[in-house]
Every structure is written in C-alpha cells, then in structure tokens.
Amino acid sequence: MSLNLVPFVSVDKMMKLVLHIGIERVLVDLAAEIEADFRRWPQFDKTPRVASHSDVGVIELMPTSDGTTYGFKYVNGHPSNLRRGLQTVTAFGLLADVATGYPLLLSEMTILTALRTAATSAMAAKHLAPEGARVMAMIGNGAQAEFQALAFKAICGIEEVRLYDIDSDATDKCARNLAASGLKITRCKSREDAILGAQILTTCTADKNYATILNDNMVGAGVHINAIGGDCPGKTELAPAILHRSSIFVEYPPQTRIEGEIQQLDADHPVTELWQVITGATAGRTSASQITLFDSVGFAIEDFSALRYVHGKLAVTGLYDNLDMIADPDDPRDLFGMILRAAA
C-alpha cells in the first residue's frame, strides 16, 4: 500500500467484512486479539479517555500506543438521539505507525465498537462466570444486545438468553434478529422474570442517569454480572449494595472510578484489574457462591486490538478503499510548490 494512500473501511465495507468472515467467528477472533493485548498490558500507554460532556451527551477520544503502533477512537454517547431516529453511539478510529506518524488505517467503528464490546464482555466472563453457565439475562435490548448474545454463545457456551426491555419493540427486534442463532430466546415481562435461572446477568441500558436496573434483592449468590450500560459520570445501573457484595473486576481503574458502577463507591474500594486475572497474577472466581462483577466501561486498548484485527484482514479480503490523505511532494520540504504544480 502506498504511504500517501490510507486504507479506509467504510460502514459498507465493514458489514461485508463481518459477513464474509462470519459474525461469530469475528467475535471469537476479536476476543482472542483483545485477550492477547491484555496479556501485554504493561507495554501500552494508558490514560482515561478525554471526554467533552454536555447536557445531552458526551464526545470522547480514546488513545493508546504499544510503542510501535498508535491508535485512537472518536466516539459519542447521546441517549436522546434515539428519539430523533439517530444512533445513540457512533464512532470511527485510526491506527498509525509510531516510527513515521503516518496513518495505517481509518475505519468506521460504530459497528466495530459493538463487536469489540461484546467480545470483551464474553472474554471477561470466560474467566469470571460460574462454571457451566448456560443461561444469560439480557436487560436492555437495544443496539448492543444481539452482539452480546452471540458473543456469549460463541465464547462462553450460553444456550438461552432471557430478554427484557421497558420498550417491548426493542425486545421484539432482538428476538427477531436472534431467531436463527441457535439460542433459546425467552421474552420476559419484567427484570425479575428475566433473571430467573440465569447465571449471567447483563445490563445494557442507555439512559444517562443514576438508574437501578438491578436491586440488591434481585441478585443471588454465585452469579456473574456483566455491567456494560454505566459508562460515563452520572450513569449507573446497579444498586450500591450489589457492589459491596461483589468481587469487582475492571479494565483501567482511573477511568472506571470516574465512569463505571464503582463511581458510587469510595475511591479506595478494592477492585481487580482484569488483565491481572488473564495473566494469572490474580485470582478471578474463587468460589461457587461468589458474585463476580465486570464493571465494563470500554477502554482504548480494546479498540486498538479491534482496529489491528481489521487491518490484518484487509489484504486477504480487499474490503477497503484508499483515501488520498497524506501530501506527497517530490521534495518533502516543498509543500507550497506541490500546490502550485497542481495547477499546471
């Protein structure tokens, strides 16, 4: 690929790439890529995402580098967009070569973020969920729900997903999309109904406020909670009492303490970094009665892994376009002359 032509993966090309490989295969592959990068966690630059908050949402940049490759994602979160017929979350991302600063890839990441979020959730559950878990409650059946269900099926062996949303149309949509997935899909009339018999409880709601999706008396011993809806200051889903009863696992504490469920706790409340569980440095689930909680807010390394995965698929799939983004004068010092010669 020419250095002045940057591979660009559009929404159309991303959809074709995912379908070409297969959605479940992509989810499994992404989980493996993310886990591999978690195993080399200390090699990465790490910083909480740079956020610009407003009354209606947030716009964020999520950067990281492993010293060889740099990556960032631009992402927004605007819950009120749904009422306007717009996506609540949109994103794009970039990879660049650290040695030259030249971009290597520009990609849509609205679809890719949904895939990497689900892959990360299932990767965490593989290490934290109770052995033999086969039933998952999915509370919140919006844009992320199907990805979560398929990731847990492909990576963790989930066989039944129990769906609940305050909007029954969202549940109908999710059930319809998963009809041919091989999963047993159960529509539920309440949160309490959804968690019956479930060993994994996934909460994924969109409202930007302190919400209580799960009350303390709804959570019994031995379950794994996959909390992915609380992902910015002032937005939570779990009753604080649940947190005090749980072993809490996070991606990057300085970010999660600002954005995650643990923003409700004292700043020194103990949490375990997920990468330490993956490397075997720290224990994950230690007993059948333990409540494990993955307080997921999304971290830049996961986006880095996802972008690198897509970049690695371009040569074999050809599913990209080239963008003329980098000026390429004959003399690197003569950018002005390049402009003049364009008129000739």
CATH class of 127-298: alpha beta
Beta bridge mates, 139: 164, 203
Report which of 146, 95, 35, 72 is spatially closest to residue 313, judged by C-alpha positions. Answer: 95
Domain boundaries, the chain: 5-111+301-328, 127-298
For 78, phi then psi, to 5°, come to -130, 90
Q: Name the residues annotated as catalytic.
A: 231
Mean pLDDT of 314-330: 94
5-111+301-328 and 127-298 in the same fold: no
Q: Is residue 152 classed as helix, strand or coil in its secondary structure?
A: helix
Q: Give the model's pLDDT for residue 82.
A: 85
pLDDT in tens, 19-70: 999 999 999 999 999 999 999 999 999 999 999 989 888 899 999 999 999 9
pLDDT in tens, 206-238: 666 778 899 999 999 999 999 998 777 888 999
pTM as predicted? 0.94
How much of the chain exceeds pLDDT 70, in percent? 98
CATH number of 5-111+301-328, picked from 3.40.120.10, 3.30.1780.10, 3.40.190.290, 3.40.50.280: 3.30.1780.10
Beta bridge mates, 60: 51, 75
Q: Give the model's pLDDT for residue 208.
A: 65
Could you write out the DSSP letters of every residue in 8-38?
A: EE-HHHHHHHHHHH-HHHHHHHHHHHHHHHH
pLDDT in tens, 67-97: 999 999 999 988 889 899 998 889 999 999 9
